Amino acid sequence: MLDYAEPISRLIDELRRLPGIGHKSAQRIAFHLLRVPPEEVRRLISAIEEVKEKITLCSICNNFTDRDPCRYCTNPARDRSVICVVEEPTNLVTIEKTREYRGLYHVLHGALSPIRGIGPEELKIKSLLERLRDGHVKEIILATNPNTEGEATASYLARLLKPLGVTVTRIAMGLPVGSDLEFADEVTMHKALANRRQI
């Protein structure tokens, strides 16, 4: 970018590496940072630094945590007979928000993707198997994403886990609540029909 002073272009380039930030957003954020008081920028920087310093992966479930084991794994109120398997820590938060699930979690940190060279070894699968050893876990809920990679990961895990004697379930797929049939794609509509329930 010929038109900016070099430190500004450099910041814009760095900001563009962030997910969901294109050139225009990066520019807006850079100029915003230029304008705000230094204390505000300091606060942002120290928040970033703190997250990198204090947050690690939970040695049991692989969720991001500031103490190990994490608050879910150590919470005596949670049901230790169920583990919900998710791709990313953000997915865990989505499930927590329902306030329905009271079991434990396991974060895979990705999904199987031959095209991107991500095989079972790249995911936190071995530690999931280890968690089943003591026989406390009765059910594994596969809550990987309802897309090709998430489905492939769920099938792979189901094949791996079923012989171990645990119940393996998959989250339901169908029409989102509040949506309209008119806008449903064929695959979702197909799932919604196939998974219909008697009322």
Torsion of CA 50, 52, 54, 57, to 10 degrees: 150
Of 124, 132, 140, the C-alpha closest to 61 is 124
Total number of residues that touch its own copies (CB under 8 A) = 53
Question: Cβ of residue 66: shortest distance to its own copies, in angstroms?
Answer: 4
97 close to 154: Cβ distance less than 8 angstroms: no
Site string for its own copies, 2-41 (x = CB under 8 A): xxxxxxx-xx-xxx-xxxxx---x-xxxxxxxx---x-xx
Whichever of 15 and 112 has its CB closer to its own copies, that residue is 15
* 165: helix, strand or coil: coil
Range 55-114, binding its own copies (CB under 8 A): 55, 64-67, 70-71, 88-90, 92-93, 96-97
Say which residues have a Cβ less than 8 Å from residue 99's Cβ, sequence separation at least 6. Answer: none
> In terms of CB distance, is 103 or 161 closer to its own copies?
103
Q: Which residues here bind its own copies, judged by CB under 8 A?
A: 2-8, 10-11, 13-15, 17-21, 25, 27-34, 38, 40-41, 43-45, 47-52, 54-55, 64-67, 70-71, 88-90, 92-93, 96-97
